[in-house]
Amino acid sequence: MHAAVADRPLDAKQVGWFAARQPGVVRFLEQRLLATSGDTFALALEASWRVCRAFAARDDVPPSRVPRSLLERAAAAVELEMMGTTVCGETCAHRQPDMCEWVRGYCSHPPLPLTAAERRDLAVALLALVYALDEETTGRAVP
């Protein structure tokens, strides 16, 4: 992930822009994370902004809106990968190794203390976003 994107602090304007630009992502995170842990949701929201910014920096254009249905499909693919099953032998890490490595590090050592289950939920949500953005930006369908 581009270092300048990863290190820059967020402000309210950036979070508001992200919520307006990616409402499907915000709803996906709310549905998956908010009911069980407000901290996990907050970290996922910040990290999702960073992931989208990294894709925008790479492509010189912000990613298009990600539909929640694509995020759900991507989350199912991530869950299969975490169980050691892949549909076509290709994984999210094969497609976006730098992004997946950043997510792994972020979830291994989050800025707030999380339980193992919360870290796993965070990882699934963020990797689903990486998969979805990969499909949106490259046209390669999530398996």
On whether residue 143 sits in a domain, the answer given is no
**45, 61, 90, 104, 118 from 28: Cα distances, Å:** 10, 23, 24, 20, 16
Q: What b-and-e string marks burial along 23-49, b requiring 16 or more CB atoms within 10 Å of the CB?
A: ebbbebbeebbeeebebbbebbbbbbb
Whether pLDDT at 11 is above 70: yes
Whether pLDDT at 88 is above 80: no
On whether residue 76 sits in a domain, the answer given is yes
Whether pLDDT at 47 is above 70: yes
On whether residue 49 sits in a domain, the answer given is yes
The rounded distance, in Å, linking the Cα atoms of 59 and 125 is 22
pTM: 0.89
On whether residue 103 sits in a domain, the answer given is yes
Confidence category of residue 21, pLDDT binned at 50, 70, 90: very high
User: pLDDT tens across 58-70, in order?
Assistant: 999 989 999 999 9
pLDDT mean over 6-29: 83
Single out the residue of 77, 80, 64 nearest to residue 24, CA to CA. Answer: 64
On whether residue 123 sits in a domain, the answer given is yes
Single out the residue of 80, 97, 63, 54 nearest to residue 142, CA to CA. Answer: 80
On whether residue 20 sits in a domain, the answer given is yes
Q: Tokens for 132? A: 């979805």
pLDDT mean over 79-85: 84
**16, 41, 55, 118 from 112: Cα distances, Å:** 22, 11, 25, 11
Give the percent of the chain with pLDDT over 90.
71
Tell me the helices (H) and strands (E) count for the chain, helix number first. Answer: 8, 0
Determine the structural domain holding residue 31 and report its residue range: 3-138
* Mean model confidence pLDDT for the chain: 88
CB 133 within 8 A of CB 59: no
Number of domains forming the structure of the chain: 1
| pLDDT score at 2 | 47
